[in-house]
Structure 1
Amino acid sequence: MAESIQPQNTAGDFTGGYTGGYTVPVWLTAAARAALLTLRSEPWERLQPLWLDPAAAPGAPGSEPRRVPVEAAAPLADGWVLAIARCDPGPGVLDLTRDLALWVLLRWQEGPGDWLTLRAGAGVGVLQASGEPCLSTYARQLLEANLRPLVPPGRRLELQVVIPEGRRLAERTSNAAFGVVEGLALIGTQAEVQRSAAPDQLEAALAALRQRAAAPQFAGDLVLVIGENGLDLAPRLGLPLELVVKAGNWLGPLLVAAAEAGVQRLLLLGYQGKLIKLAGGIFHTHHHLADGRAEVLTALAALAGLGGEALQALHDAPTVEAALAEVAQRDRPRADQLRQRIAAAVEQRSQRYLARYGQESMAVGAVLFDRSRQICGQGPVGLDLLTALRGVA
């Protein structure tokens, strides 16, 4: 191993101190920048100055770099440089990326081609359909804005990302349900972590809900989507965007707030592996706070007549998606029946939840979708609501 280039002292170099709370693309870019400086035989800084808004030109009025810490950077054999950053989603955020080590391997690349070739190493999620690294547009833009100015004309980089704990942690996510396998995805649409399990996220969702209910054209209908996938799918299903509110994980308080705001018909649209929690009476769906999906699925399957080894296999499956796919391979009608039972149970438990707060008058329907974003289950109320709301101008 070649001699390590030592970091500079960055105290006072840039305005604004490090506060944490960043998404994975920011940590990736910080490590990559430190690696690139080392590759250029230049000192690297513990706090890497990054432009976190790729649309803003560096040096523009009112813009300034943010300082993001990097743990290490050092040359390796065969022209490679290794840099390591450790993810920090910020205080009070329940996120599996906390303290996650992210390694970046960087070297010059010969021959023609794009200025940067990015490869997925161990623990990094790839798209099952293509084998390409699962990298968000924001992550690519961030690398472009912060690395490319340091690449000499005519030179090219090869960048490989490794997340040592990525494959294990990916088992706790729904990545595989949406075609991302082998590890954690390098995603994020902005620099700051969206605090989906934190109170400020609830306040934002409540504000959006009240805004919809106060609109002059409000007719008592609302669609709550769970997560970005539901937000993307709703308009494709013909659901008017003016009816849609992204709920995040705070479903219970939002159901009550919707009823109090005058919503008469509410449609829940969500991934089957997330929405099933409501069928078990779990109305805050962040995985750090409550899970129980295997137990809920097993109970509903037993009520549907499944038993013996098939029921045990269902309970032991790694995800709800995998469990239902296994049932479908053996008996598709039974799998379809089970999905309908899940959706119906979501509706029933939601009504019971509302009744506890004296809000029985609001109708709640549930529609489930699968990893391919195809509708796979609808409760009786959900079927009626989806048909009706698709026709709302």
Structure 2
Amino acid sequence: MTLPVWVAAAARAAVLVLKGGATPASVELKIPGEQASRSVPVRAAARLESGDQALAITVCDPGRGLDLTRGLEIWVRATCTSAPGPGFQVTAGAGVGRHQQDGALCMSGFGRELLDLNLRDLLTAESALELEVVLPRGQELALRTSNAAFGVVDGLALIGTQAEVQTSASPDQLQTLLTQLRDLASQAGFAGQLTLVIGENGLDLAQRLGLSQRQPVLKAGNWIGPVLVAAAEAGVRELLLLGYHGKLIKLAGGIFHTHHHLADARFEVLAALAVQQGLSTERIRPLLQAVSLEQAWEWLASQDEDQARALWMSIAGAVEQRSQAYLQRYGCPAMAIGAALFSRDRQLRWAGPEGLRMLGHAGLHLEPLPGDEGEGPSLR
């Protein structure tokens, strides 16, 4: 189950104990959109010495597949406040992600709805509750995610739009995706054009740019290679890959299953492309020492913006070239592949030659970098 479910279970257990109930071995949770409740195990729960606080702990079990939250302890401390009830406020404790811009807790709407649904019967008019969520290993694990690239700092974001984990690295997920692709390509009126987006951020950007109104959009997991092959075999003639540059760069290195547990090499690929672009050792070494692709981009752009732009455009070009080589390896029908990469602020910044052509046909252009002169962007 997803992280918000385990947070809600710990929150309910903490409030139950705070209200004088016995320590539960599990709690029954109502899930939005589901008729039956789910039993979620609780590791521990107890009132604290002050009497107006209680702490409960759950341990995340994301189910089958690879997930870095497996075994992660979730602590929720519930406190009675002097504010009039009923109601509750959720705050980010240690290891919980916050939005860098305003410091607010990074939690999905599903997570908040889950808390409201499962705490409503425990709230009273006498006082409100404060719920502090703590992830003891959250900050450590966040370093292995792209959270920081999207402005989430200090820990793991409490995201998830449903109770079950979508296992993007599992064979079951691949089969589901391939079925969706074949159904899409067999629809009447399909013109052979497809946008393949990488992750929720790519899907959000495709919708914001209006790409989803111009041609079908399919969200991929980590199985990029098999999806490219299946798309060519299903009759797709032009495929636009749209994704975050810190993810798509793996394809530029010939890595077509992109889950972080299985392959990385992002900085090695960046360094190799930098050598091809003629960058000096003094420029390449700091790129390898960066903590994220976004930081590498920002540093190089601060040294030489034109050089940085050329290197990142070469990444997009390499994605196109390696993707075509992947198709040829499997003897696939001809399919044009374009690559378009966006930055942390979800602005379309770089594209390969085919990507530029496909974007142009859709009436879109790359977003100019801050400080660029000339006409404004057309991605509005």
TM over 0.5: yes
* Distance in 1, Cα, partners of 2:363 & 2:72: 43
1:262 pairs with 2:262: no
Unaligned runs of 5+ in 2: 365-380
Q: How big is the shift at 1:390? A: 4.6
Q: How big is the shift at 1:304? A: 1.3
Aligned to 2:309: 336
Aligned to 1:309: 282
Aligned to 1:296: 269
Aligned to 2:353: 380
Partner letter of residue 345 of structure 1?
Answer: A
Aligned to 1:41: 20
Instruction: Please show how residues 218-367 of structure 1 align to structure 2 within 5 Å.
Output: 218-241=190-213, 242-359=215-332, 361-367=334-340
* Distance in 1, Cα, partners of 2:49 & 2:285: 50
* Distance in 1, Cα, partners of 2:187 & 2:318: 31
Aligned to 2:168: 196
CA deviations over 1:285-334 (Å, ceiling 9, x no partner): 00011111010011111211222232111011111111111111111111
Structure 1-normalised TM-score?
Answer: 0.90
Structure 2-normalised TM-score?
Answer: 0.93
**Contact 2:27-2:39 within 8 A present in 1 as well:** yes
Find the residue that maps to 2:11 and give its secondary structure. Answer: helix
Partner letter of residue 291 of structure 1?
Answer: D
* Distance in 2, Cα, partners of 1:330 & 1:360: 43
Segment of structure 1 superposing worse, 104-113 or 115-124: 104-113
Q: How many residues align?
A: 362
Unaligned runs of 5+ in 1: 1-21, 57-62
RMSD: 1.4
**Contact 2:24-2:45 within 8 A present in 1 as well:** no
1:117 pairs with 2:89: yes
What percentage of residue pairs aligned between the two structures are identical?
Answer: 56
**Contact 1:260-1:359 within 8 A present in 2 as well:** yes
Partner letter of residue 23 of structure 1?
Answer: T
Q: How big is the shift at 1:388? A: 1.4
**Contact 1:238-1:390 within 8 A present in 2 as well:** no
* Distance in 1, Cα, partners of 2:360 & 2:23: 58
* Distance in 2, Cα, partners of 1:127 & 1:240: 28
* Distance in 2, Cα, partners of 1:276 & 1:82: 43
Find the residue that maps to 1:240 and give its secondary structure. Answer: helix
* Distance in 2, Cα, partners of 1:313 & 1:240: 38
Partner letter of residue 286 of structure 1?
Answer: H
1:68 pairs with 2:47: no
- Among 154, 158, 170, the alignment partner of 2:126 is 154
Partner letter of residue 300 of structure 2?
Answer: V
